[in-house]
Structure 1
Amino acid sequence: MIEQYPQALTIAGSDSDGSAGMQADLHTFFRRHVYGASVMTACVAGNSYGIHDAVNLPTSFIDNEFKALADDYQIKASKTGMLSDSELIMTVVKNYTQYDFGPLVVDPVITTKHGNVLLEESAYQTLRDKLIPLATVITPNFFEAQKLAEMQINDEADTKLAAKKLQQLGAKNVVLKGRHDDNHQTEVADYVLLESGEDFFLLDKYHATNRVNGTGDSLSACIAAEIAKGTSIKEAIEIAKRFVNEAIESEIMVGHKFGPINHWAPKD
């Protein structure tokens, strides 16, 4: 029957090397047996050495992408990636609130996993005030959580307080990703705070590798894919954590420097 297959949407930029952004999202959707649709917001010219150029798409075209999908598809869950300026963020907010594209997973791309800032301050405020309140799940990395919660995170108590502050911004469920920028660490601890108040840590082995491009994209995409299939929020987060850890553990040698994770590695 038509429209019976689970469909998920990525709202993100296109990365020409396929390691992150929309491509990583679509790789993940495919591996989780979900049909992936896309609203492209920007195009990035890059490779394993770095980003060499980028351009935003016209907001009128982005509006038409949303409308075209709404007129034909039944999107069951969506996720956002990097939205580089306030105009793009507000265009996404306008369209997401206009159409029914299911629960929203927000990957708040503000800083890299090493703490380098990616988003200018005006865009950050728009993301914080307008997009995050729409989030069913938010998946900040350690540095993004500190920025959004406006506090330093030094221990477990700080982690839990920061997650509560993110809920106060409007996000229903929080996945606060642990630090993984120290080659001497042995594990990565992600903290989860659910809308119900239930909380827990997800622990996995730390893998010392530079093949980690697309980690955050794939985590949030996996959560969205599982939600689209009807999986509970808690189980979707747990599946996504396992998926990404297995994709990092089994390296794929593509590119010369900072390569992608291996989307073929995780078990179905």
Structure 2
Amino acid sequence: MTATTPPRVLTVAGSDSGGGAGIQADLKTMLALGVHGMSVIAAVTAQNSLGVQGYWELPAEAVRAQLDSVLGDIGAQAVKTGMLASPELVETVAERLGAYEAPVVVDPVGVSKHGDSLLAPEAVDTVRTRLLPVATVVTPNLWEVEQLTSVKVEDEDDLRRAADAILELGPAWALVKGGHLPGEPVDLLTDGTREYRFTAERLDNRHTHGTGCTLASAIASHLAMGEDVPGAVGKAKEYVTGAIRRGFPLGDGIGPVDHAWQWR
């Protein structure tokens, strides 16, 4: 009996030594959703529930070699990017993915859940000009929207203006995450013509480390399984809401979401 190869998804991101975000969250999400996860590690962090104590970028040639190794042999039906840290790494990843035919989900990671910077200030413009134009979907939170576009979102009415500013930078779709606004969480997805709003209940759980990584990886996983962008985002939101609901304490700070909530 011959086993069937599942859809393949590649994450290009940083490693989280605490296991709640980054590469670790990405691979857990992919396994939970039934795809084969692969990884290109762009940076290593010393990180726990209290914050990020330090990070170290890998050389660009190491990141390029990982990309060439995986995409040249195994291939991927979707790619997700996360922490890329420096202009050189952003440019390396954008150049390789721009020449590869698979949907790309960009989580434009700027800071950690604890407020620690994970992107050099001089890399922001490289994200704008090199990475976002190769993206199928970009998934910024409100702080990342402001960092990339200078648009400050103060209420739900500002979400479309923020999304349009992101689209001007070149991606096919923008998903602006409004979870930090007061009231019930609302995320807005648009390609400039079509618009979708995704709502969810606000859960009383402080253990939300890894939500951005998890959402982007879930979107990439569903794209790899053949969903269109609105369908992939809708299913990813359902998965992340369940994971937040079951987030658990870990260490003395903010715990992670539960990537295996469907199995427990």
Query: Is TM more than 0.5 here?
Result: yes
Residues 41 and 118 of structure 1: CA distance in aligned 2, closer, same or farther (over 3 Å): closer
Per the TM alignment, residue 47 of structure 1 is displaced from its structure 2 partner at its CA by 1.1
Give 1:115 shift. Answer: 6.8
What is the distance in 1 between the residues matched to 2:24 and 2:262?
A: 17
Q: Does 1:177 align with 2:173?
A: no
| Residue 216 (structure 1) aligned to one of 212, 215, 221 | 212
Structure 2: runs of 5 or more not aligned:
none
> What displacement does 1:2 show?
8.4
Distance 1:77 1:171 in 2: 15
1:255 lines up with 2:213 in the alignment: no
User: What is the CA-CA distance between 1:33 and the residue it aligns to?
Assistant: 0.1
- Alignment partner, residue 191 of structure 2: 194
Is 1:12–1:39's contact at 8 Å kept on the other side of the alignment? yes
CA distance in 2, matches of 1:156, 1:46: 33
The one-letter code sitting in structure 1 at the alignment partner of 2:73 is: D
Q: Partner letter of residue 242 of structure 1?
A: E
TM-score normalised over the length of structure 2: 0.92
Are the equivalent residues in 2 in contact too, given 1:113–1:142 (CA < 8 A)? Answer: no
| Within-5 A mapping of 1:1-268 | 4-100=5-101, 102-112=102-112, 118-180=118-180, 185-194=182-191, 197-266=193-262
Contact 2:156 2:186 in 1 (8 A): no
Q: For the residues of structure 2 that align with 1:209 and 1:144, how far apart are their CA atoms?
A: 23
Q: Secondary structure at the match of 2:256?
A: coil
Q: Tell me, in whole angstroms, the C-alpha distance in 1 between the residues paired with 2:74 and 2:210.
A: 26
Partners of 1:3 and 1:74 within 8 A in 2: no
Confirm or deny: 8 A CA contact 2:141 2:177 kept in the other structure: yes
Q: Mean Cα displacement is larger for which, 49-58 or 78-87?
A: 49-58
Q: What SS class does the counterpart of residue 197 from structure 2 fall into?
A: strand
Note the alpha carbon deviations across 1:26-76, whole angstroms, 9 max, x for none: 010001100001111111111111222221111111111111112321200
By how many angstroms is 1:114 displaced? Answer: 7.7
Matches of 2:183 and 2:160, distance apart in 1: 21
Asked if structure 2 preserves the Cα contact closer than 8 Å seen for 1:8 and 1:37, the reply is: yes
Further displaced range: 115-124 or 91-100: 115-124
Give % identity.
35
In structure 2, relative to structure 1, the CA distance for the partners of 1:140 and 1:207 (3 Å cut) is: same
Provide the aligned C-alpha RMSD in A. Answer: 2.1
Distance across 2 between alignment mates of 1:50 and 1:2: 42
